[in-house]
Amino acid sequence: MLRFTDEHIAFQEVPGEVSLAYTIAGCPLGCKGCHSSYSWHSGQGTALTSSYLQQRLQTYQDLISCVLFLGGEWQPQTLLPLLIMVRRAGLNSCLYTGLDDVNPALKQQLTYLKTGRWLAERGGLNSPDTNQVFTDLRTGQCLNPLFIQ
């Protein structure tokens, strides 16, 4: 089961989308300088069950265009049905992962994917030197330039 520590509406993490965002507890990567190290322990937070997400999608109907999962790829069999639910609701989806790639079945359901762990010396998506890549999986296009002002 996946659990989340934060649920909020995000305007900047996915360009052009209003996203219902979940910080998933239990990221195993342990990047030095992680901004959400408080979320590393997997047993904390609220269970992100299918019924919970369904209820939230109904609550935010017509207010959001995307659901953003900040982690969760380490449980692909749990994340996959949630992505399918999001797509069936007519919404886009995005996964932020610290890995360089994820399970192909996840990518098949996702609209956007951010890959690459946090390296302080390279910076995040708003840095021209970043190791991270934000991809529109529908086209394969790298959208990194949209994050640089």
45 binds ligand SF4 (CB under 6 A): no
| Secondary structure (3-state) at 110 | coil
**Binding test (CB under 6 A) with ligand SF4, winner from 22, 69, 118, 134:** 118
- What gap in Å lies between CA 102 and CA 62, rounded to an integer? 29
**Binding test (CB under 6 A) with ligand SF4, winner from 6, 7, 15, 34:** 34
The amino acid at residue 110 is: L
30 binds ligand SF4 (CB under 6 A): yes
27 binds ligand SF4 (CB under 6 A): yes
Joined tokens for residue 126: 């708003």
98 binds ligand SF4 (CB under 6 A): yes
**Binding test (CB under 6 A) with ligand SF4, winner from 36, 46, 78, 103:** 36
- For 77, the enclosing helix (H) or strand (E) is helix 76-88
DSSP bridge pairs for 47: 3
